[in-house]
Amino acid sequence: MNERIKEIVQETFKSLPMDNAKPDQWIDKFVLELSRKIIFECSDVVRESAKNYGDETKVILKATAVDVLDHFGL
């Protein structure tokens, strides 16, 4: 597994207080938050990569990053 994914998992786990009385709800929150963070990270990577290209490609990559977020409702 990629080290960055491990970091995101650990950060997400630490950011959500464990609710032993409602583990199913906690797992749902964890999976949603983890997914959200990974999708944002992916979009950020595309945006950062866009800086290395010419104007037309830069615009296309930035639009793609936004499209990915929109696809997942973020």
Buried b (16+ CB within 10 A) or exposed e, 6-36: eebeeebeeeeeeeeeeeeeeeeebeebbee
pLDDT along the chain (74 residues), means of 10: 92 90 91 97 95 94 96 94
Q: What SS3 state is found at 2?
A: coil
Q: Under a CB-based contact definition with an 8 Å cutoff, are residues 1 and 38 in contact?
A: no
Tell me what pLDDT residue 20 has.
82
Question: What are the domain boundaries of the chain?
Answer: 46-74
Tell me what pLDDT residue 46 has.
96
Tell me what pLDDT residue 61 has.
96
Q: Under a CB-based contact definition with an 8 Å cutoff, are residues 13 and 30 in contact?
A: yes
Instruction: Give this prediction's pTM.
Output: 0.85
